[in-house]
Amino acid sequence: MRTLERSNPFASLVCIVCVTLTAALCQYPGMLIPALLGGAAFYSLLAGRSGKRTHILCALLVVVSALVNPIFSHNGITVLFVLNDRPVTLEAVCVGLMNGMTLAAVIYYFGALTRIMTSDKLLYVFGKVSPKSALLISGALRFVPLLGAKSRRIEETQTALGLYRKGNMISGAKNKLKVFSALTSWALENGIITADSMAARGYSDGRRTYFAPYPFRACDAVWIAVYSVSAAVLITFSAIGTYGFTYYPQMVRTGGAYSAAFYALYAAICFLPAAVQLKEAARWKYLISKT
Amino acid sequence: MEILDIKNLSFSYAGCEEKALDGVSFTVNEGEFVALCGETGSGKSTLLKLLKRELRPNGKLEGAVLLGGEDISSFTPARSAREVGFVMQHPEQQIVCDKVWHELAFGLENLRVPEQEIRRRVAETACYFGLDGIFKQNVSSLSGGQKQLLNLASVCVMQPRVLILDEPTSQLDPIAASQFIATVRRMNRELSMTVIICEHRLEEVLPLADKALVLKNGKAAFYGPAREAAARFAADEKCDMPAASRVFARTGGDGECPVDALEGKKYVTQNFSNRVRSLGREENKRSSGPALEFSHVFFRYEKNAPDALFDLELKAYPGEHTCILGGNGSGKTTALCAAVGLRRIYDGKIKILGKNIDTYRNGALYRNCVAMLPQDVQTAFLRMTVREELKDSGCAPESLPFDVSHLLERHPYDLSGGEMQLVALAKALATKPKILLLDEPTKGLDSGFKQILKRIIKELCDSGAAVVTVTHDVEFAAESADMCVLLFGGSAAACSGPREFFGGNAYYATTCARMTRGYFENAVTADDVCALCEANGKKEAGV
Amino acid sequence: MIVLKNAKARTAIRFIVPLALFPAVAAASAIAGGRAYVAGASVCALLAVLVFLAGFEQKKIGSRRLIITTVFVALSVAGRFLPLFKPVTALTMIAGIYLGRESGFAAGAFSALISDFYFGFGPWTPFQMLTWGLIGYIAGALGEKLKNSTPRQIVFGVISGLMFSALMDVWATLDFTGGFTAQTYLAALVNSLPFTALYAVSNAVFILLMSRPFGEKLTRIKIKYGI
């Protein structure tokens, strides 16, 4: 199987949305732990060392959420201690923990998605839906760094002409606003020429084709099928109560004997992206060791 | 076979009585390379824009442009895009998409070419233009030359029959410019694409052109073989003809007019003797210490990046015009930025008027001391009119050594490149700088504005200021510098007066220096060559 | 390509989704609680964005207007790095006023999308796109009423700043606590009050300082290039 990173962008998008949607809808400890771990593993494999801040953020989130929830929620029967005449319950702490873990898992998966969705792929997704939007996105992605560079140049020029002094916050903000205003003039004026260049190359409001270097392969269909079917099954059976978990007033597992199968299915789709990624890395190592 | 037929074309801009073009007629055959010449304001750009329907400006148009016998205003947008390709002056502004491959595909997407066909055409075009190495890159990571090449490629991917280029190399450095012109030439020769090009610097274009069209005040003053145009208009300084032709015209040559360095050399060696080989050297008039001094300066942009300035030694004296030359990435602009405190050096010393740059605090560096104009002078403007701009920097228009009074009510962005340079210069002079730093001031300027700029620099130097110019323009440096410095790899590789400097360089030299190399010594400008030719006198015919 | 052929159906959907469906989902989640509504609301937001974009795709705006819309998106994103000011709302409003509602929606929605491209995607992305898009759309619908009156623009800016905060707090509440209760929502609103206030004030100041120059600039471009 091809990694999500190298798959068709639609496949990457569908898989990640399915996993997070399921995690958000089915709040069971047995499912959140694989979601969190699978997400963390997948993200770490993609981000490497640069993901340190996200890990810290996620850890903080879980802790803070576990501490904050009991302050708002006093449901539950297992009272740990009493604070300001209000009971702090084990159940509320656990719900906070679960919420934090859900959010952390979502952050990991979407963090991975942000790494995977390069601008090309973002465009591909939108290009299929609406070519005009794709063009707009492409143009905006081109203008943003251009504007950044231009605003730095304007600041430097104004400094070198003795017209731009760093002072306190207010005058600093004023100066920045002036630069921003000049930037706007420039961007609009420039934009007209860009628009003319578009028209000169045959752009008009009618239909246009969209070219992108991402073919849709059988492998992508497999990714999409596996994830959408799994998510549908998991969410449906959770909704009709075939398997489940309640927190208030007491933490109890509900549902029948098949619960374990559902957990296993979910764990599988959580770890699959990381596993495929890992397999590919291992194959590289193997190929290099052979030569 | 005739491809373009321009019939009695006249045009006046909206809200303007005067005709920008007045009854221009000419025909172009398939596969011809036509150079368009004429001074600024002669209607070159207007004419080119009228040849491309989508770019026609607002105004009143008479006459017709026929392509293959049909009026271009009757074309569908798709047909128009397919038949006529247009490349504009600024490389940056024409690019629509953020990736190289997407930019190449853009035109084909508009034409609704099927995806599979786009794939093939984009691939072969990228290969032909040498863009395959940067195919997947972001456009923002490309150099100016690469961007302009990409613009050319993304027009040519639609395989137009006529290619129109409006000063495509004016924003590029000389090496990128030559590469660009060479590519255009190749397309013309190999694919028999019809080319119409307008350029300030005809030095490189005219020798390649089959025909030249010379415009004067919106009228066609001449249309015919390029060599004939060079011969007829070389005496006219404003037409910017190649140096060889100018020497030919001024020394009263007859016969075939030379258009490039090789022909120029033949002309000089065959017609003039070289008893007097060189003019006197520039004398040194220095009376005080340097105004700007770099000693052992090191700078890098990031901790692990290579040194952008490496043990740089540089001195600029008051009353002198110092020109810094060198290739891209040699540290020229970085050095200027360091001199105005925009870049902090990590080793060495920069002295401004004898004091270390770090001792200037609270903007003292920018009051009656140093001022810099960047390459992109538009960044100097923040207001809606020139008057407000000048008021902002406390500049009285009457006190300037040049006239900007006719520009006061205009929007800074509506000015031509030369006018913009003048207004920005006015802003810089408002701080009464003792050291004026200019980054590529001649970029995109025609010879008229270059003359004005030279005069202003001369006057500033005479009043005791030190002017330091970073430039790629060797002709400008040869004509106006007192001192030339060659920067290479962040340090100064050579430093001398312009005659010695360009006379001594074999490759980094002016056309005149190349033309007379080994025959005369230190003749670097057309004036020098003419003076030497005159001193030597004509050889007798047949000798 | 998403295109709804029937113009009436398009308009109907475009108003029903944000004005009826969205509050309905929010209300349902307020009553019933539970996480299902997080997902429901996200999907609704996404669908609403798509319906609006279909309108944008259909609208004939020409290359110049398209590029100006793009410039507004880029300026909004670049402007997020300004100190004190976050000009997205103001710029979206101006885009709506001068370029029409479809372009206003596109300017707002894509500003959100491109910002998230730099700051990270999340389930909140459709929410942000819809909220900012709506600000642009409504400004476009009000059009002439806003165009010549700076006070009205300031009121609009402040209200949309508040609206943005309120809507994003809905999302924060949904996601953080799993269920939506009036109590937690109120807590979230109170918590974010300083930011909301700062946001509203900075919007007002930004519009006060920038809306006229922006109008002048756009008018100049219109005259110079005859758009």
Do the bridges between strand A79-83 and strand B84-87 make them parallel or antiparallel, or are there none, so unpaired? unpaired
Cβ(A122)–Cβ(B323) below 8 Å: no
Cβ(B336)–Cβ(B437) below 8 Å: yes
> Over 70: is that where the pLDDT of C223 sits?
yes
Do the bridges between strand B347-352 and strand B292-299 make them parallel or antiparallel, or are there none, so unpaired? antiparallel
- Nearest residue in A to B114, CA atom: A209
Q: For residues B429, B435, B436 and B438, what is the CA-based torsion angle, rounded to 10 degrees?
A: -170
Which of the residue ranges A36-45, A218-227, C112-121 would you say has the lowest mean pLDDT? C112-121
C178 vs chain A: nearest CA distance in angstroms? Answer: 7
**What is the amino acid identity at position A123?**
L
> Over 70: is that where the pLDDT of C181 sits?
no
SS3 content of chain A, % helix, strand, coil (to 5): 75, 5, 20
Do the bridges between strand B2-13 and strand B59-67 make them parallel or antiparallel, or are there none, so unpaired? antiparallel
Residue A264 is encoded by which pair of tokens? 């296993």
Over the range C115-132, which residues count as b (16 or more CB within 10 Å of their CB) and which as e?
Answer: bbbeebbbbbbbbbbbbb
Cβ(B467)–Cβ(B425) below 8 Å: no
Predicted confidence at residue B543, as pLDDT, reads: 46
DSSP assignment of A186-255 = HHHHHHHHHHHHHHHTT--SS------S----HHHHHHHHHHHHHHHHHHHHHHTTSEEEE-SSS-EEEE
Among C2, C67, C113, C201, pick the best mutation site for testing chain A contact (most A Cβ within 10 A).
Answer: C67
CB contact under 8 A, C53 and A133: yes
> Over 50: is that where the pLDDT of C104 sits?
yes
Cβ(B435)–Cβ(B292) below 8 Å: yes
CB contact under 8 A, A196 and B110: no
What are the start-end ranges of the E strands in A75-231? 79-83, 86-89
B217 vs chain C: nearest CA distance in angstroms? Answer: 23
Q: Please give the radius of gyration of chain A, using alpha carbons only, rounded to the nearest integer.
A: 25
Among B384, B385, B388, B410, pick the best mutation site for testing chain C contact (most C Cβ within 10 A).
Answer: B384
- Taking only the tens place, the pLDDT of each residue in A154-193 is 999 998 888 877 667 777 778 888 888 899 999 998 899 9
Cβ(C170)–Cβ(C180) below 8 Å: yes
Give the torsion sign (CA, B331, B337, B340, B341).
negative
User: pLDDT confidence of C23, banded at 50, 70, 90?
Assistant: low
Q: Count the neighbouring beta carbons within 10 Å of the beta carbon of residue C104.
A: 32
CB contact under 8 A, A147 and C54: no
Sheet holding B491-496, edge to edge: B370-373, B435-439, B466-470, B321-325, B483-488, B491-496
Q: Angle of helix C7-16 relative to helix C36-58, nearest 10 degrees?
A: 140
Which of the residue ranges A28-32, B359-363, B418-422, C97-101 would you say has the lowest mean pLDDT? A28-32
Higher pLDDT, B351 or C47: B351
3-state secondary structure of C83: coil
Which own/partner pairs from C125-129 qualify as long-range (CB within 8 Å, at least 24 positions apart)?
C126/C42, C126/C45, C126/C46, C126/C49, C127/C41, C127/C42, C127/C45, C127/C167, C127/C168, C127/C171, C128/C168, C129/C45, C129/C49
Q: Count the neighbouring beta carbons within 10 Å of the beta carbon of residue A44.
A: 19
User: pLDDT confidence of C43, banded at 50, 70, 90?
Assistant: confident
Which of the residue ranges A287-291, B17-21, B187-191, C91-95 would you say has the lowest mean pLDDT? A287-291
User: CA C5 to CA C185: how far, in whole Å?
Assistant: 40
pTM of this prediction? Answer: 0.86
Predicted confidence at residue C22, as pLDDT, reads: 61
Subunits with 3+ Cβ pairs within 8 Å of C are: A, B
Smallest CA-to-CA distance from B245 within B193, B294, B207, B194 is with: B207
A205 vs chain B: nearest CA distance in angstroms? Answer: 9
> Over 50: is that where the pLDDT of C1 sits?
no
C1 vs chain A: nearest CA distance in angstroms? Answer: 5
CB contact under 8 A, B414 and C226: no
User: CA B410 to CA B384: how far, in whole Å?
Assistant: 8
Residues, chain B: 543
Smallest CA-to-CA distance from B532 within B516, B511, B510, B509 is with: B516
Q: Angle of helix C182-191 relative to helix C150-177, nearest 10 degrees?
A: 130
Phi, psi of A188 (to 5 degrees): -65, -45
> Over 60: is that where the pLDDT of A284 sits?
yes
User: CA A129 to CA C54: how far, in whole Å?
Assistant: 9
Q: For C21, which DSSP code?
A: I
Subunits with 3+ Cβ pairs within 8 Å of A are: B, C
Smallest CA-to-CA distance from A20 within A3, A46, A1, A43 is with: A43
Do the bridges between strand B33-37 and strand B491-496 make them parallel or antiparallel, or are there none, so unpaired? unpaired
Under 8 Å CB-to-CB from C10, ≥6 apart: which residues? C4, C51, C54, C55, C58
> Over 60: is that where the pLDDT of C29 sits?
no
User: CA A183 to CA B378: how far, in whole Å?
Assistant: 10
- Hey, what domains does chain B have and what are their CATH numbers? 2-241 (3.40.50.300), 292-496 (3.40.50.300)
Q: What is the H or E stretch that residue A126 is in?
A: helix A119-129
C-alpha angle B7-B11-B16 in degrees, rounded to nearest 5: 165
- Nearest residue in C to B411, CA atom: C220
- Residue numbers in chain B where pLDDT is lower than 50: 543
3-state secondary structure of B315: strand
C35 vs chain A: nearest CA distance in angstroms? Answer: 6
- Taking only the tens place, the pLDDT of each residue in A260-280 is 888 889 999 999 999 999 999
User: CA B44 to CA B42: how far, in whole Å?
Assistant: 6
Under 8 Å CB-to-CB from C107, ≥6 apart: which residues? C69, C72, C73, C76, C91, C92, C95, C96, C99, C136
ipTM: 0.87
What are the start-end ranges of the E strands in B30-151? 33-37, 59-67, 70-71, 84-87
Question: What are the Cα distances from residue B127, in Å, to A2, B81, B135, B155, B418?
Answer: 29, 22, 10, 15, 37
For residue C225, the chain B residues in CB contact (below 8 A) are 58
Hey, where are the domains in chain A?
A: 4-122+215-290, 133-200
Predicted confidence at residue C111, as pLDDT, reads: 94
Predicted confidence at residue C177, as pLDDT, reads: 53
Q: For residues B21, B26, B29 and B35, what is the CA-based torsion angle, rounded to 10 degrees?
A: -50
CATH fold of C62-225 reads Arp2/3 complex 21 kDa subunit ARPC3 (1.10.1760)
User: CA B39 to CA B41: how far, in whole Å?
Assistant: 6
> Over 60: is that where the pLDDT of C2 sits?
no
User: CA B201 to CA B205: how far, in whole Å?
Assistant: 8
Q: Residue A105's Cα: distance from chain center in Å?
A: 10
Q: Is B390 exposed, middle or buried (0-12, 13-18, 19+ CB in 10 A)?
A: buried
For residue B147, the chain A residues in CB contact (below 8 A) are none
Higher pLDDT, C163 or B437: B437
